[in-house]
Amino acid sequence: MKKKKLQTKTKINKNQGITLIALVITIIVLLILAAVSIATLTGDNGILTKAQTAKEKNDAAEKEETQKLLQAEANMSFEEIEYNGVTIPAGMAPTRKEGESTVNEGLVAVDKNGNEWVWIEVPKSIMPADLTFANETGYSEDDKTNCDSITTALKTYAKSYTEGSKGQERNWTDEWYAKDGESYITEKTATTETQKELKTGCGLTLNEYKETYQKMIKSVYKNGGFWIGRYEAGIKGTTGADEESLKLGRTGSSTRIDISTSSKAISQKDAIPYNFVTCSEAQKLANEMAPDSSKTSSLLFGIQWDLVCKYLEVKSDLNETDINTNSNKWGNYCNVEIPIESSNAKSGYVYYNNSDKNYYFSNKWTKMTELTKQAITDRTVDNCILLSTGASEKTKILNIYDFAGNEWERTLEHATARADSPCSCRGGNFNGGSSTSASDRGHVDPTVALCFFSFRPALY
């Protein structure tokens, strides 16, 4: 009897040992399955990652399809149309999107090339009434007096910004200039016909400058405004985030491809800014962006930049201080937090060389990771980061992106206060201090090509 009990006890112990082993194995299997499940869900090829990628691709496809439809509509627009009180040029179509359909919102139109433009209203009430012109669209000496009176009215209206930001009040003059050898000439100092034909300043001969200026002034008077690129000029082919798009970014001045053989300029979201261009190159690129031969596209004249500043003051929540003294709440400058929303946002870094005390571009464009985006959002130290166009909604005011900061934008303006660097650039750049403002005037040699200088087209 005792022997039988002993056998039973031994059997029970054996069964308990097997149960513990099974439990351990079960736990190990569950851990493995959990690890596999987590990896399947969250890894680089995980379900959640793939779902997010699929959503981004779907959103991009929808955006591309909408853009193609707008381009098709613009391509079939053979004449001007009236839309919400604004004349839409031939070869362009309003987006009709919520928040982009009226002057008070920032009216946006797309042209047949996919470039986006924003209408800048200039009140007709501030201009002299009932003027007539000998030549409605081209240049005429007989129209000079009338055009001068319009210019005076425009400068009076935008006076807060015509002298640059606060503290920059100097003798600024919008005028033609060119580089003749090592010297600069203006209309007053050009003594030969050869000098008047030079394009080594703003990219226009003297006569071309006068004709373009008159055409712009007459268009503003007739239509009550003008169009500007919604984005800083970008490089065609760089709106994606693939390696080929990144390779098209210009990373130097000595190794850069000449603009005659390089990509065209565009005004589209997520493009790498078209920098490392001289002023004359920027003007040539801007001039090629007009969607219709009846319109002219060019760099902005100084008065146009000032009128954009005034438009933002009148129509947006910004006040004069935000535009004329400190634009850090809507511009990409050093030490300013910038939330990055665009999934195709790209960045270019600039580093400071302590040995020669100069800033240099890192010669590399990269697609941003979520970690990079957060670092830029939270930056609190001197950190110079050039962004692709429209990377942050913070920089959008009345549907215009990056008007304050990111890149200095070249204009057709001659900064008379600096004889050695007469090309006036506006708006500040990503390398500037956090107290920079949108109305700022920078100065640079027009023949110098650097990473800090790009441009924005105007259309009229």
* Cα separation, 34 vs 45, whole angstroms: 16
**How confident is the model over 139-167, as pLDDT tens digits?**
999 999 999 999 999 999 999 998 877 77
Please tell me the distance from the alpha carbon of residue 136 to that of residue 214, in angstroms, as a whole number: 9
What's the DSSP call for residue 200? S
Nearest to 348 by CA among 320, 385, 312: 385
Max distance between CA atoms of the chain, in angstroms, equals: 133
Residue 106 CA, chain-centre distance (Å), reads 16
What is the structure's pLDDT at 49?
65
pTM for this prediction: 0.85
Mean pLDDT of the chain: 88
Supply the pLDDT for residue 439: 94
Six-digit token pair at 453? 């200088």
For 35-64, give the DSSP string: HHHHHHHHSTTSHHHHHHHHHHHHHHHHHH
> Which residues have C-beta within 8 Å of that of residue 420, sequence separation ≥ 6?
445
pLDDT digits (tens, 9 = 90+) for 216-274: 999 999 999 999 999 999 999 999 989 999 999 988 875 555 777 778 999 999 999 99
Q: Give the model confidence (pLDDT) of 60-91 as tens digits.
A: 677 778 878 888 898 888 899 999 999 999 99
pLDDT of residue 1: 44
Q: β-pairing, 234-235 with 265-266?
A: antiparallel
β-strands 423-426, 441-444 pairing: antiparallel
Distance CA 36, CA 45 (A): 12
Confirm if 227 and 121 have CB atoms less than 8 A apart.
no
Q: What is the pLDDT of residue 8?
A: 45
C-alpha–C-alpha distance, residues 300 and 74, integer Å = 24
Please report the pLDDT score of residue 7 as a whole number: 47
pLDDT per residue of the chain (460 residues) written in tens, 0 to 9: 444 444 444 444 545 556 888 888 888 888 888 888 777 777 667 776 676 666 666 666 777 788 788 888 988 888 999 999 999 999 999 999 999 999 999 999 999 999 999 999 999 999 999 999 999 988 999 999 999 999 999 999 999 998 877 776 666 777 899 999 989 999 999 999 999 999 999 999 999 999 999 999 999 999 999 999 999 999 999 999 899 999 999 888 755 557 777 789 999 999 999 999 999 999 999 999 999 888 999 999 999 999 999 999 999 999 999 999 999 999 999 878 899 999 999 998 877 677 776 667 787 899 998 888 988 888 765 578 899 999 999 999 999 999 999 999 999 988 766 678 889 999 999 988 778 899 998 888 999 998 999 999 999 9
Phi, psi torsion values for 82, nearest 5 degrees: -95, 130
**Are the beta carbons of 272 and 234 closer than 8 angstroms?**
yes
In this prediction, residue 12 carries a pLDDT of: 45
- pLDDT for the residue 9: 44
pLDDT of residue 52: 64
